[in-house]
A and B are shown apart, each in its own frame.
Chain A
C-alpha cells in the first residue's frame, strides 16, 4: 500500500484538475516519440512519423495521446489502490501490445517535462516530487502483470 501525504493527494488532484488533456496528452506522446525514437516501434500503423514536425502534426498520435492521458484518470481517482486499478491494463500491455515496460518510464518522464513547461514556476520541487511519486506508482503497476 502506498502512503500518500495530504500534500501529495492535494497536489495530484490539483495538477490533473488544471490540466488541459487535449493539449498535454498529444504533447507528451509526441515528445516521447521524438526524444526516444525507438518508441516508434509500437506505432507502425500510425502513418508519417518521419520527423519531429510530422510526429507533432500526426492526428493519430494526438488522439492516442489523449487516450493515454485519460487513462491516468483512473489512478487519480483511485490513489489508494493503483495496483488493482491497472491490473487489466498491465495484462493488455504485456500479453497483447507487448510493450517493453521501460517505455512507461520514458513516457512518464516526457509527461513530467510537458507539465513542467506548462506550469512553469508553479511546478516547484515539492510538486515535482509528488507528481513523480504518483507516476512511479502508475509505472510500477502497469509493469506488475508482466511474467
Chain B
C-alpha cells in the first residue's frame, strides 16, 4: 500500500536515475551476481564482467522499465503487460530472483544517495519494487 507522498518520492528518485540508467543498472546487476552467484545462471549468453557493454545495456533496460512504471504506479498492470508475457513465457526466471535483484537495487540506491536514502524512502522503495516484482510474475501460472 503506497501513500500519495510515497508515490511522489519514488517517482522523484527514479527520475534522477534515468540519465545514468546504464551505470546504475550495470551496478545493480553486478552486485546481484557477485552476492548471489546462482543468479549468474541466467546470463550465460552475456559478457557479465564488470564494465561490460552487455551489463550496461541490459542494466539500462531494467532501470528504464522501473523508472517508466514509477511515473504512474497505479497503471502498473497495464504498463507491465508486455514484460509479464516476456518473463512468463520466454525468460522464465524463477521469481525468487526478483527479490535478490530488488535488494541489490536498494543497496545501489543507498550507496549513491547516502543519508538521503532514509528509512522512509527505503520503505517506500521496497514496497514499490516488491509490487513491481509481484506484477512481473503474475502470468507465470
Contacts and interface: CB of A to CB of B under 8 A. Distances in A.
B126 A117 contact: no
| Interface footprint category on A | 20 to 34
B123 A132 contact: no
B120 A113 contact: no
Contact of A35 (B30, B35, B50, B119): B119
A21 interface: no
B35 A120 contact: no
Nearest to A120: B111
A7 B31 CA distance: 16
A121 interface: yes
Given A125-B35, A128-B31, A128-B34, A35 B123 contact: yes
Contact of A116 (B50, B107, B126): B107
Nearest to A131: B35
A16 interface: no
B114 interface: yes
A47 interface: no
Contacts, number: 59
How would you classify the secondary structure of chain A's contact residues: helix, strand, loop or mixed? helix
Nearest to B116: A117
Interface string A22-50: 00000000110011000000000000000
B35 A129 contact: yes
B71 interface: no
Nearest to B115: A117
A122 to B, nearest CB: 9
Nearest to B114: A117
B106 interface: yes
Contacts of A104: none
Interface of A: 30-31, 34-35, 52, 55-56, 109, 112-114, 116-121, 123, 125-126, 128-129, 132-133
21 contacts: A30-B119, A31-B119, A34-B122, A34-B123, A35-B119, A35-B122, A35-B123, A52-B119, A52-B120, A56-B119, A112-B107, A116-B110, A117-B111, A117-B117, A121-B111, A125-B34, A125-B35, A125-B50, A128-B31, A129-B35, A133-B35
